[in-house]
Structures are given as structure tokens and as C-alpha cells.
Amino acid sequence: MTMTNQKPFIAGNWKLFLTSSEAVELVSTLQEINHEFEEAQMVVIPPFTALCDVHITLQGSSIQIGGQNVYWEEQGAYTGEISALMLKDVGCTYVIIGHSERRQYFGETNATVKKRIKAALSHDLTPIFCIGESLEEREKGETIHKVQTQISEGLEGFNEDTVQKIIIAYEPIWAIGTGLTATPEQAQEVHGFIRNELSEKYGNETGSCAIILYGGSVKPANTFSLLKEKDINGALVGGASLKAESFIEIAKEAIKAYKEK
Ligand code: 13P
């Protein structure tokens, strides 16, 4: 199965923000004006505690839901963890895996990323697999090497069919929550590399159909120029997805950019 990228893919990662009632209020607003961004694939990724209520609020909507992380065991004595089965149960179709904040603060490694991706896929959850370099790595000219290693270790042993079910999000760590965005050229360079790498390792179809998102200080003002780039298929938005107004503007800018591609 390959995914299509006819529509821009806009996902809002709400991180450790919003209570359940705040999350419901936000998705209710999005839902009301859903028709304004029908031409984008919209996904909201609330904290675990809000998933159930958000799912109920979004019944029948085209806006989809994701989890922010997943443990690789389905059930057991793993206090504090959430499994793919549980995410499915509350309506998730996507899950973020290997976000740099998980890597930085919670000891996530490429090896654990791989286990989580496998667990997600075994329950038909689409992984949004995050990769990206730190400022120090960029300054030392190690960006491509870093991203290449994350791909080869995170996807180690996977075949073409499996890789075709995975969305990749390139999120340069230095651009996350800092207000610094990669320029469209900087982002395109890495996205182009990722697509080529996927083509080389998993065949042309895998590379050409891959959905590759950009994340890191995406806001309405920079969405158009980023999404116009050939290999950028959407955005993984943090801060600007917490307000309906800016999230909707981002979707509209993305749709505009896609029309002009
Ligand atoms: P910001 O958009 O707040 O920089 O966050 C990006 C991000 O980490 C999305 O996963």
C-alpha cells in the first residue's frame, strides 16, 4: 500500500498542553469550519488524557487523531505506558514516534523507535517517524549523516511494504519551539535527501509516494514557502496548532501552496 500525497498533510502536536475540555473546545471550533480546509488532511495529536473526548467530538469528521507516543508491548506490567491497542481503541489512526523531545528527555533511541514503529503498524496505526539534527550537528555539517543514521537504524530490517506505511517528519531540533525555522531551501535539501534515500533503499515507488513532513516553528507566515518546496508534503505543527485560528491559517496556506506546486 502506498500513501497518496495529493493533499497537504497538516498535523498538530499538542505536546503537554490542553486539558480534555480545552482540547474539545479547540476541535469543536475546527470541526465547525471543516469545509474551509477539506483539501488538506488534518490530524490532531492531543495528550493521552484528551484522546477519548476528542474522538467522541470528532465522530464523523474528516479530522483524524493521533497519539504522541506508543509503547511496544500490547499489555502487561508496564506502569505509565500506553499501547497501540489502547490508542486504536480511542480512535487514533496515527502516532508520533521518536520525537526529538522523547529522544532528549526520555531516553528514546533509534532502537526503541524501531520497536515502537513495529508495534504501531501491527495495529494499523500510521507512524509519524520524527528525525532531525541539533544545532551543533548542523554547524558541524553533520545534518545528512544524522538523518541517514536515524533512518537506517529506525527502519532497520523493514521491507518496502512496511516503509510505505510510514510518514517521516523532518524536524530540525534547533527550529523546534525557538521561532527559528529552516529556510525553504534548507528544509528542501534534507527532504530531497530523505526521498532519495527511501528510493535507493526501498524502491522508486516508496520514495516518490512517501509523505515527508516538515516541523519546527511552522506558522501561517512561513507555511506557503515551505510547502511549495517539491519534497515537503505537509507540516507537523507544535505551538501554532494550539489556537484554532493559526492552525486553520496554516491549513489554508498549505492548500494554496499545493495548488501552485
Ligand atoms: P513548534 O511548531 O512549536 O516549533 O514544534 C514543532 C514540533 O515539535 C512538532 O512536533
Per residue in 56-85, pLDDT (tens digit) is 999 999 999 999 999 999 999 999 999 999
End-to-end C-alpha distance for the chain, whole angstroms: 24
Per residue in 29-55, pLDDT (tens digit) is 999 987 888 899 999 999 999 999 999
Identity of the amino acid at 254: A
Ligand 1 mean position, distance from CA 214 (Å) = 9
If you write DSSP's letter for every residue of 158-215 in order, what string do you get?
A: --HHHHTT-EEEE--GGGSSSS----HHHHHHHHHHHHHHHHHHH-HHHHHH--EEEE
Ligand 1 pocket test target in 9, 14, 15, 219 with most atoms within 8 Å of CB: 15
Region 172-184 average pLDDT: 93
Ligand 1 pocket test target in 131, 213, 237 with most atoms within 8 Å of CB: 237
Half-sphere exposure of 212 (CA within 13 A, CB side): 29
Per residue in 87-130, pLDDT (tens digit) is 999 999 999 999 999 999 999 999 999 999 999 999 999 999 99
137 band by pLDDT with thresholds 50, 70 and 90: very high
Taking CA atoms only, the protein residue closest to ligand 1 atom 5 is 238
Ligand 1 pocket test target in 9, 10, 13 with most atoms within 8 Å of CB: 13
* pLDDT at residue 239 in the model: 98
245 band by pLDDT with thresholds 50, 70 and 90: very high
What residue ranges do the domains of the chain occupy? 9-259
Ligand 1 mean position, distance from CA 94 (Å) = 17
Region 17-23 average pLDDT: 98
- Which is catalytic among the residues 108, 171, 197, 253? 171
Contact residues for 159 (Cβ-Cβ < 8 A; gap 6+)? 202
Helix (H) or strand (E) holding 127, with range, is strand 126-131
* pLDDT at residue 3 in the model: 53
> Active-site residue 99, yes or no?
yes
CA dihedral 234, 98, 139, 217 (to 10 degrees): 40
* pLDDT at residue 50 in the model: 98
Taking CA atoms only, the protein residue closest to ligand 1 atom 7 is 238
Please tell me the distance from the alpha carbon of residue 155 to that of residue 253, in angstroms, as a whole number: 32
Ligand 1 mean position, distance from CA 178 (Å) = 9
Per residue in 89-101, pLDDT (tens digit) is 999 999 999 999 9
* pLDDT at residue 5 in the model: 61
Region 185-202 average pLDDT: 98
Contact residues for 48 (Cβ-Cβ < 8 A; gap 6+)? 67, 68, 82
List residues near ligand 1 (CB under 6 A): 13, 99, 171, 176-177, 215-218, 236-240
* pLDDT at residue 178 in the model: 92
Over pLDDT 70: what percentage of the chain? 98
Q: Is the pLDDT of residue 159 over 90?
A: yes
* pLDDT at residue 34 in the model: 79
* pLDDT at residue 2 in the model: 45
Fold of 9-259: TIM Barrel (3.20.20)
Q: Is the pLDDT of residue 174 over 80?
A: yes
Query: What ligand 1 atom has the least distance to the C-alpha of 99?
Result: 10
Region 233-259 average pLDDT: 97
